[in-house]
A and B are shown apart, each in its own frame.
Chain A
Amino acid sequence: MTIVDTGMDTAVQETRDGSARRRLTSGLGPKAAGRRVRDELARVVMWLAFLVALVPLVWILGSVLVKGGHMLFESTWFTHSQRNITSSDVGGGAIHAIQGTLIQGAATALMAVPIGVFTAIYLVEYGRGALARAVSFMVDILTGVPSIVAALFIYAVWVTTFGFQRVGFAVALSLVLLMVPVVVRSTEEMLKLVPNELREASYALGVPKWKTIARIVIPTAFSGIVTGVLLGLARIMGETAPLLILGPYTKNIATNLFSGNMATLPTMINQDRVEALQPALDRVWGAALTLILLILLLNVVGRIIARFGAVRT
């Protein structure tokens, strides 16, 4: 029956034969002892793995909450910047950094989402042959690019080649490089999940291909695409290397992406950590907690949007 008779196959075979024989003799008896032991063992191993995976998560969340939680209740945290506050001073807020992170994230998403979604549409709906394979391969390579390499690439282009300043927009450009592959891959998966029958049903009604994609395929995959975009956004909002290289910190509120320094939560954490004085350290934890909450909020909003546009069943 089996072509290659490996030891494992034989073992399985024997077990099966053995249990079959047992069933013959004992009828509908209790679960076999060996199987019960293996079942219990597997259960214990899985629970242990789960708990081990949970330890760092709870630990991080716990320490950030304990050490940074009180900062969020400071009256000025969400209203004031760090303007004119030295590292030994208590007070001020993180609004400059929150704003910077949101502005740069939005600028990045504005560029990366169209590029990513349209690339995915090309790959799934149109791409055939060498070009599609090349694009897909490039996306794979881009996925593996470390953030510092993306940052240095943009530095080389933006600062060294063109001689521009290190500004928020340069940060956004390097974050685009990191976000595009995430959006492409997740959107691609979601588009592939749309059954071909729906496309054919639409074609059979005399609907052109582009309209089929825009009105049938994308709406069907919409919630998945939104989730993918938000995962990508969550990834790049916590990214640090490009910010350190391309986005110098400032204690002031800054909204211009094209000139001057712009603060972000990761650079604020980095700056205050270097100071090593207690008021600054408190702000480090506060900023960390703020960043975590920001990303959490993003996910919640995304889920609501996703549910709003979800497939109706």
Chain B
Amino acid sequence: MAKRIDVKDLNVYYGAFKAVEDVTMTVEPRSVTAFIGPSGCGKSTFLRTLNRMHEVVPGGRVEGHVMLDDQDLYSPKVDPVAVRRTVGMVFQRPNPFPTMSIFDNVAAGLRLNGLRDKKRLAERVETSLRGAHLWNEVKDRLDKPGAGLSGGQQQRLCIARAIAVRPSVLLMDEPCSALDPISTQAIEDLIGTLKSDYTIVIVTHNMQQAARVSDRTAFFNLAATGRPGRLVEMDDTQKIFSNPTQRATEDYISGRFG
């Protein structure tokens, strides 16, 4: 189920502006990979190329290859919609669909992709909510609006919604930056259990969080404002935080800049 991602020579553009330059990396399946780096270094932009969400932005385009196991996501034969079914995403701010109940939010991806069978829907919703550690809190009010939950619950609802379509990879774009410490803790625990089934990539500004949840860490940086961001180094999380190869990484994690 979980898949490996191989990125080769990837350049990311907004129109004529090159936002991220020349990234080559491997993301291992059934592990958590964290992207860290200062604001504007392109880590979120790069993350969004992994499920072809970058091209949703007007002028957004990409050069290079992203291989999911043996398949090039940017091959002309590949449908971006199918890519996003395989590579799910959780966003910075919880964004449940406001017109839908808790149940409908989780079922949304399944229903909109054509699953009608009520019994199977109910099963998948329960499995996903249990998977997102939210079932016990909402099982008695599944028909209530999703927007009525607390921020942390909403974010777990969004995670349940994302895993309900059974992706191989789960991308998380600063999933805890809008949450309080207790909800953050809940999400981090959740990431720990999800990684036995999924390939997880998480962008975070919080270096302690990267150190806590990830197996591998990639540090992104940009040479100067207006220049494209690039991957400085990527290694085992323990190595990055104890003994990084690059000077810039050490400066960043020790808080000397950024």
Q: Tell me the minimal C-beta distance from B53 to chain A in angstroms.
A: 6
Assembly CA distance A6 to B81 (angstroms): 57
Size of A's binding interface in residues, CB under 8 A: 24
Q: Interface residues of A: mostly helix, strand, loop or mixed?
A: helix
Question: Would A200 and B145 count as touching, CB distance under 8 A?
Answer: no
Question: Would B89 and A207 count as touching, CB distance under 8 A?
Answer: no
B146-165 interface code vs A (CB 8 A; 1 in, 0 out): 01100000000010011001
Q: Tell me the minimal C-beta distance from B197 to chain A in angstroms.
A: 18
Question: Would B84 and A197 count as touching, CB distance under 8 A?
Answer: no
Interface status of B44 (Cβ within 8 A of chain A) = no
Question: Would A220 and B53 count as touching, CB distance under 8 A?
Answer: no
Q: Tell me the minimal C-beta distance from B66 to chain A in angstroms.
A: 16
**Stretch of A172-180, A181-189, A211-219 lying at the B interface:** A211-219
Interface status of B241 (Cβ within 8 A of chain A) = no
Assembly CA distance A198 to B154 (angstroms): 13
Interface status of B208 (Cβ within 8 A of chain A) = no
Question: Would B162 and A205 count as touching, CB distance under 8 A?
Answer: yes
A-B pair count, CB < 8 Å, reads 83
Q: Tell me the minimal C-beta distance from B214 to chain A in angstroms.
A: 21
B83-127 interface code vs A (CB 8 A; 1 in, 0 out): 111101101010101111100000011001100000000000000
What are 21 A-B pairs with beta-carbon distances under 8 A? Answer: A128-B58, A195-B95, A197-B91, A200-B89, A200-B95, A204-B88, A204-B162, A205-B85, A205-B108, A205-B113, A205-B161, A206-B81, A206-B83, A206-B86, A207-B112, A208-B81, A211-B112, A312-B98, A312-B99, A312-B100, A313-B98
The 10 closest A-B pairs by CB, nearest first: A206-B85, A205-B109, A312-B145, A204-B89, A197-B95, A206-B84, A207-B112, A219-B99, A311-B98, A201-B95
Instruction: Point out residues on B near A: beta carbons under 8 Å.
Output: 51, 53, 56, 58, 81-86, 88-89, 91, 93, 95, 97-101, 108-109, 112-113, 145, 147-148, 158, 161-162, 165
Instruction: Point out residues on A near B: beta carbons under 8 Å.
Output: 128, 195, 197-208, 211-212, 215-216, 219-220, 222, 311-313
